[in-house]
């Protein structure tokens, strides 16, 4: 009886999909989710925890997040002429963008493989999703992108820059060509801006159909779930209409206000991770049994040559090391694994284990 209710009342797009899976990482060396591995200095952490006592938890949070907006704007040098909309992570912002789409433009396009939520949320909302394959080296196939845009006239084009899970940052002239060809919005997702040393933030105002996304997760605030959508006030005002009230809790907002006064801590950690990324990439290149790609993010993608990625992933799990197996995510990712850049010691443990596994 319950099953009949489910199939009558739940739409097929939900019944036919799988929930996003987050593996249990208890007791693991966790290198699967592009997190910052560093904690805050103990004195700074004590200041933060002391300050949390001032937050009135019996009151609803600031629905407009005005104080946090000011802090964010100053910390990331967001131009005054641009507006900022905050979401419960970038995922909520992607959902809001899709919900705002006009029925005549319920088509979403992105190069693939890329961030899974573009496709996942589009399909759950029963929009047409068009994935344009990258080239074999994970560079953008610009002619294919422009052809797909012309054919499908998408309401939104998502461009992860740098791309997840490949780490590639497409050429800025390619972004300009996509923007010029698109009849709808182009959303540039700069989730890894702290590691890429490039941004379109100072150019958004040049384009009437461009919005930019940022997240604080990769900088070390993954637990707060703060995403930002940046663009002209006209765009942001319309999308804000469908944001649910009080979507960001008081403790989250207060924490952002606190840490943005200490951005030097987060940025210095990002600098260390960039240095570790270079070292880790060099060490991976020395392993003949894999192919590895340069990265502009805080992770590195590599492909196993002589041993299936699934076996390598399983053997790493047996050694309590968790990375991401992408073999089933897209045909171009067959036998590909993605490792988050960790601390020097974490990277050393991973490289040692990987070398031993591939040597057998």
Please indicate, yes or no, if residue 316 is contained in any of the structural domains: yes
pLDDT over 60 at 1, yes or no: no
Q: Note whether 338 and 241 are same-domain residues.
A: no
Q: Note whether 215 and 278 are same-domain residues.
A: no
Q: Note whether 245 and 135 are same-domain residues.
A: yes
What average pLDDT does range 92-117 have in this prediction? 97
How far apart CA 110 and CA 244 sit, in angstroms, is 26
Per-residue pLDDT, 246: 95
Of 204, 236, 261, the position where a domain reaches its end is: 261
DSSP code for 9: H
Per-residue pLDDT, 286: 96
CATH of the domain at 61: 3.40.640.10
Question: 247 with 87: CB under 8 angstroms?
Answer: yes
Per-residue pLDDT, 8: 84
- Which segments of the chain does DSSP mark as H helices, in order? 2-9, 12-15, 42-52, 66-75, 89-100, 116-124, 142-152, 172-181, 193-196, 233-240, 250-259, 263-285, 309-318, 344-358
Question: 228 with 85: CB under 8 angstroms?
Answer: yes
pTM exceeds cut of 0.85: yes
* Residue 29 token pair: 């060396």
pLDDT over 90 at 164, yes or no: yes
Q: Note whether 201 and 331 are same-domain residues.
A: no
Please indicate, yes or no, if residue 3 is contained in any of the structural domains: no
Q: Note whether 84 and 208 are same-domain residues.
A: yes
pLDDT digits (tens, 9 = 90+) for 290-337: 999 999 999 999 999 989 999 999 999 999 999 999 999 999 999 999
How far apart CA 187 and CA 173 sit, in angstroms, is 16
What average pLDDT does range 276-284 have in this prediction? 98
Q: Note whether 269 and 249 are same-domain residues.
A: no
Q: Note whether 222 and 164 are same-domain residues.
A: yes
Q: Note whether 245 and 270 are same-domain residues.
A: no
pLDDT digits (tens, 9 = 90+) for 25-82: 888 999 999 999 999 999 999 999 999 999 999 999 999 999 999 999 999 999 999 9
CATH of the domain at 313: 3.90.1150.10
Of 235, 261, 287, the position where a domain reaches its end is: 261
- Which segments of 16-141 does DSSP mark as H helices, in order? 42-52, 66-75, 89-100, 116-124
Per-residue pLDDT, 270: 97
Please indicate, yes or no, if residue 257 is contained in any of the structural domains: yes
Q: Note whether 205 and 268 are same-domain residues.
A: no
Please indicate, yes or no, if residue 297 is contained in any of the structural domains: yes
pLDDT digits (tens, 9 = 90+) for 4-34: 888 888 888 888 888 887 788 888 999 999 9
Q: Note whether 183 and 294 are same-domain residues.
A: no
pLDDT over 70 at 2, yes or no: no
Q: What are phi and psi of 158, to 5 degrees?
A: -100, 130
Please indicate, yes or no, if residue 47 is contained in any of the structural domains: no
Q: Note whether 124 and 242 are same-domain residues.
A: yes
Domain, as residue range, for 31: 20-41+264-358
Per-residue pLDDT, 40: 95
Q: Note whether 322 and 341 are same-domain residues.
A: yes
Please indicate, yes or no, if residue 4 is contained in any of the structural domains: no
pLDDT digits (tens, 9 = 90+) for 184-200: 999 999 999 999 989 99
For the chain, give the mean pLDDT: 95
pLDDT digits (tens, 9 = 90+) for 342-356: 999 999 999 999 999
Quote the number of domains for the chain.
Answer: 2
Please indicate, yes or no, if residue 90 is contained in any of the structural domains: yes
Of 261, 296, 324, the position where a domain reaches its end is: 261
DSSP code for 218: G
Please indicate, yes or no, if residue 243 is contained in any of the structural domains: yes
Q: How many CA atoms lie within 13 A of 173 on its CB side?
A: 0
> Nearest-CA neighbor of 338 among 222, 214, 164?
164
The counts of H helices and E strands in the chain are 14, 13
Greatest alpha-carbon span in the chain: 59
């Amino acid at each position: 009886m319950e099953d009949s209710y489910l199939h009558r009342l739940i739409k097929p797009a939900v019944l036919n999909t799988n929930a996003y899976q987050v593996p249990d990482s208890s007791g693991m060396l966790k290198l699967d989710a592009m997190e910052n591995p560093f904690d805050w200095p103990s004195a700074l952490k004590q200041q933060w925890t002391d300050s949390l006592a001032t937050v009135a938890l019996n009151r609803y949070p600031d629905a407009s997040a005005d104080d946090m907006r000011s802090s964010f704007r100053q910390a990331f040098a967001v131009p005054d002429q641009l507006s900022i909309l905050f979401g419960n992570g970038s995922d909520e912002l992607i959902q809001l963008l899709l919900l705002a789409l006009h029925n005549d433009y319920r088509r979403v396009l992105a190069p693939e493989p890329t961030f899974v939520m573009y496709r996942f949320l589009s399909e759950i909302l029963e929009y047409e999703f068009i994935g344009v394959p990258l080239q074999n080296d994970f560079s953008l196939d610009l002619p294919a992108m422009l052809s797909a845009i012309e054919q499908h006239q998408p309401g939104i084009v998502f461009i992860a820059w740098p791309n997840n899970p490949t780490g590639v940052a497409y050429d800025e002239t390619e972004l300009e060509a996509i923007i010029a060809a698109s009849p709808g919005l182009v959303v540039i997702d700069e989730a890894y801006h702290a590691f890429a040393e490039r941004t379109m933030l100072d150019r958004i105002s040049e384009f009437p159909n461009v919005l930019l996304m940022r997240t604080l997760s990769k900088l070390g605030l993954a637990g707060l779930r703060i995403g930002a959508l940046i663009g002209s006030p006209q765009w942001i005002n319309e999308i804000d209409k469908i944001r649910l009230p009080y979507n960001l809790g008081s403790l989250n907002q207060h924490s952002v206000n606190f840490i943005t006064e200490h951005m030097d801590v987060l940025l210095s950690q990002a600098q260390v991770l960039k240095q570790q990324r270079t070292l880790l990439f060099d060490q991976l290149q020395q392993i003949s049994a894999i192919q590895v790609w340069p990265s502009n993010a805080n992770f590195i993608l590599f492909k196993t040559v002589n041993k299936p990625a699934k076996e390598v992933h399983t053997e790493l799990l047996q050694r309590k090391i968790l990375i991401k197996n992408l073999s089933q995510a897209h045909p171009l990712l067959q036998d590909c694994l993605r490792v988050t850049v960790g601390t020097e010691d974490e990277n050393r443990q991973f490289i040692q284990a990987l070398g031993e596994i591939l040597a057998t």
